[in-house]
Amino acid sequence: MKDVAALAGVSLSTVSRVVNNASVDPVLAGRVHEAVRRLGYRRDAAAAGLRRSDRASASVGLIVDDVGNPFFSAVHRGLEEVARSRGVLSFAGSSDDSARRERELASSFSAHGVDGLVIVPAADDHRYLERERAAGVPIVFLDRPPRRLLADTVLSDNVGGTRAAAEHLRSAGHTRIAFLGDRARVWTATERLAGCRGIVAPDLVRMNVSDGGAAVRELLDVPDPPTALLCGQNRITIGVLYALRELGLQDRVALVGFDDVPLGALVGVTVVAQDPVALGRYAAELLFARLDGDDSPPRRVVVPTRLIVRAASRAGPRSRRSA
């Protein structure tokens, strides 16, 4: 920048003003632009933020379970879309569902001066983030709410999703509906169970399911077995799909999964679809609103889920017997 000033024959501050397009004499500005072009000058974002009153770095940090997981990478994409429109770059990191790693990432991102943080919580106590927030770094939680901290949160409508799924099965005549859920300590798992409570058969609820295949075999072996299966999580749905196929029961037992599975239309599985891109977009919008000075109370936005009915849930309640 020094060199640009010299070449353009103006002062440092004038160059700074041009670069930040403040008001400067058009003719001087022209000289500066020319010098910038000739020298291939580019402003150093880090140095700029260092001195700037708002200490802004034009970057945000995203912490998810796993950046390689398609659900979270779609979230990342949504966030990027709105960040890009404001010229903001995004860091992303994987917590691998570890509270410690979440804290390390948040700390690293802060040390790098991010302007805001979007976090898919792994920790069960987020008070450690009070410091960042006090430093003026807004934080938005995504997919699951924070613990012991009040902050903006963007969630999928888990409850509405499984309720719609269960009602869909009930209206097809099913009375023996099973629910296969993830680890009970996972917030979304219990929400999804809550959504279908009262419709699924209490004795057919299985939580902490790690292997959908094993769970489905066990369930089909109970005295009055389910005629329909509601899976609370993607991985479980996939395990169930394989097991049902192996047992030759794919057309006999109705199935609804939570979270769309890839090639779902080909496989014909009915699902409750989430919209991870929208999740990321809303989170970014909330974040930038805060950065723009919005200091209203913490908000919670719930993104609707959508039931996509496909062939696999069409098996009727009596098809097993009639086979």
Partner DNA sequence: TTGTAAGCGTTATCAT
Partner DNA sequence: ATGATAACGCTTACAA
Which residues of the chain form contacts with DNA (CB under 7 A)?
1-2, 10-14, 16-17, 19-20, 23-25, 28-29, 41-44, 47-48, 50-54
Neighbouring C-alpha atoms within 13 Å toward the C-beta of 164: 17
Cβ-proximal residues to 290 (8 Å cutoff; 6+ apart), any chain: 116, 138, 140, 152
Q: Does 323 bind a second copy (CB under 8 A)?
A: no
Minimum CB separation of residue 256 from a second copy in Å reads 16
Neighbouring C-alpha atoms within 13 Å toward the C-beta of 135: 17
Q: Which two tokens stand for residue 295?
A: 């200091």
Q: Which two tokens stand for residue 189?
A: 């798992």
Cβ-proximal residues to 94 (8 Å cutoff; 6+ apart), any chain: 63, 64, 65, 66, 67, 68, 101
- With contacts defined by CB under 8 A, name the span among 7-15, 62-70, 170-178, 211-219 that binds a second copy: 62-70
Of the candidates 7, 19, 56, 66, which one interacts with a second copy according to CB under 8 A?
Answer: 66
* Burial label, 257 (beta-carbon count in 10 A; 0-12, 13-18, 19+): buried
Count Cβ atoms below 10 Å from residue 190 Cβ, excluding itself: 17
Of the candidates 149, 267, 273, 283, which one interacts with a second copy according to CB under 8 A?
Answer: 267
* Burial label, 140 (beta-carbon count in 10 A; 0-12, 13-18, 19+): buried
| H/E element, 43 | none
Give how far Cα 286 sits from Cα of 59, 113, 281, 290, Å: 15, 19, 9, 6
Please provide residue 151's backbone torsions phi and psi, each rounded to the nearest 5 degrees. Answer: -160, 165
- By C-beta, is 73 or 319 nearer to a second copy? 73
Q: Which of DNA, a second copy, none sits in contact with 52, Cβ below 5 to 8 A by type?
A: DNA
Q: Does 143 bind a second copy (CB under 8 A)?
A: no
Q: Which of a second copy, DNA, none sits in contact with 91, Cβ below 5 to 8 A by type?
A: a second copy
Residues paired with 119 in a beta bridge: 63, 141
- In this structure, are residues 34 and 5 in contact, taking their beta carbons and an 8 Å threshold? no
- With contacts defined by CB under 8 A, name the span among 3-11, 25-33, 258-266, 302-310 that binds a second copy: 258-266
Minimum CB separation of residue 45 from DNA in Å reads 8
Minimum CB separation of residue 113 from DNA in Å reads 10
Minimum CB separation of residue 124 from a second copy in Å reads 21
- By C-beta, is 105 or 204 nearer to a second copy? 105
- With contacts defined by CB under 8 A, name the span among 69-77, 118-126, 146-154, 299-307 that binds a second copy: 69-77
Q: Does 112 bind a second copy (CB under 8 A)?
A: yes
- By C-beta, is 23 or 171 nearer to DNA? 23
- In this structure, are residues 61 and 91 in contact, taking their beta carbons and an 8 Å threshold? yes
- In this structure, are residues 195 and 162 in contact, taking their beta carbons and an 8 Å threshold? yes
- By C-beta, is 94 or 274 nearer to a second copy? 94
Q: Does 86 bind a second copy (CB under 8 A)?
A: no
Which residues contact a second copy (rule: CB under 8 A)?
Answer: 40, 42-47, 49-50, 57-59, 66-70, 72-74, 76-78, 80, 84, 87, 89-94, 107-113, 131, 238, 241-242, 245, 261-263, 265-267, 277
